[in-house]
C-alpha cells in the first residue's frame, strides 16, 4: 500500500518537472522539445579528460560505442537523460546520450543536469574552454522531440 502511494506521488512529481517546450533554430533546422538548464562542458578521450576510467582507456562508451570514432556523443546521467536521447546543445548542435560518468551521476544525485559532449582532440577542448571562459558553462539544452527542416 505504502509503495503504491509513493509511486503515485513520484508520478506527480515527475509530471510537475516536465520542462517547458521551446523551439530553437539552428542552421537549416528547427529543434522542438523540453528546455532544461544544464551544466555543459566539452571533453575528449584523453587521460586528462577521462582519467584512468577503464572504459575510457578502452575507448568505449557505456553503450559500447567507439568513443574515438563517434564524436556525436554525450556523457549524462541516464536516470535523467536516457541513453539514445537526442539533445540540442546551443553552438554545438545535435548530439545523442551514449555514455555516463561519475561526475554526471553525482550531479544527478542532487537532481542537477551535467552533461559533457565529446570532441575529437584535446586542442578542441581547450579552444572551447577558452571561448566559454571556463571548464563548463550553464546553458539551456533542448530534449529533442521533433526536428523541422526549413525550406
- How far is the CA of 45 from the CAs of 18, 31, 36, 69, 112, in angstroms? 33, 28, 26, 11, 24
User: 33 or 101: whose CB is closer to Zn ion?
Assistant: 101
Candidate segments 2-10, 38-46, 60-68, 73-81, binder of Zn ion by CB under 5 A = 38-46
Q: What does the alpha-carbon distance between residue 63 and residue 85 come to, in Å, rounded to a whole number?
A: 12
Candidate segments 3-11, 45-53, 58-66, 77-85, binder of Zn ion by CB under 5 A = 45-53
Q: With CB under 5 A as the rule, give the number of residues binding Zn ion.
A: 6
Are the CB atoms for 100 and 79 separated by under 8 Å?
no
Candidate segments 20-28, 46-54, 61-69, 94-102, binder of Zn ion by CB under 5 A = 46-54
The answer for 31, left when phi > 0, alpha when psi is -120 to 50, beta otherwise, is: beta
Q: Which of 6, 9, 10, 46 binds Zn ion (CB under 5 A)?
A: 46
What are the cell numbers at 74?
A: 554525450
Q: Which of 36, 38, 40, 44 binds Zn ion (CB under 5 A)?
A: 44
Q: What does the alpha-carbon distance between residue 125 and residue 135 come to, in Å, rounded to a whole number?
A: 9
Q: Which of 41, 49, 67, 75 binds Zn ion (CB under 5 A)?
A: 49
User: 44 or 80: whose CB is closer to Zn ion?
Assistant: 44
3-state secondary structure at position 35: strand
- How far is the CA of 68 from the CAs of 29, 88, 104, 123, in angstroms? 27, 21, 20, 15
Residue 10 is a binding residue for Zn ion (CB under 5 A)? no
Looking at residues 87 to 146 of the shown chain, list those that interact with Zn ion (rule: CB under 5 A). 122, 125
Least gap, CB of 29 to Zn ion (angstroms): 29
Residues binding Zn ion (CB under 5 A):
44, 46, 48-49, 122, 125
Amino acid at each position: 500500500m505504502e509503495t503504491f502511494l509513493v509511486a503515485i506521488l513520484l508520478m506527480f512529481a515527475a509530471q510537475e518537472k516536465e520542462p517547458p517546450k521551446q523551439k530553437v533554430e539552428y542552421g537549416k533546422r528547427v529543434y522542438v522539445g523540453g528546455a532544461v538548464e544544464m551544466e555543459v562542458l566539452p571533453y575528449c578521450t584523453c587521460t586528462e579528460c577521462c582519467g584512468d576510467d577503464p572504459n575510457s582507456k578502452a575507448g568505449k562508451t557505456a553503450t559500447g560505442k567507439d568513443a574515438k570514432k563517434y564524436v556525436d556523443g554525450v556523457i549524462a546521467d541516464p536516470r535523467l537523460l536516457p541513453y539514445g536521447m537526442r539533445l540540442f546543445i546551443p553552438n554545438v548542435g545535435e548530439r545523442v546520450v551514449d555514455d555516463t560518468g561519475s561526475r554526471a551521476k553525482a550531479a544527478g544525485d542532487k537532481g542537477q543536469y551535467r552533461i559533457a559532449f565529446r570532441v575529437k582532440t584535446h586542442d578542441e577542448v581547450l579552444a572551447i574552454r577558452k571561448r566559454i571562459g571556463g571548464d563548463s558553462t550553464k546553458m539551456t539544452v533542448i530534449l529533442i522531440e521533433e526536428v523541422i527542416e526549413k525550406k
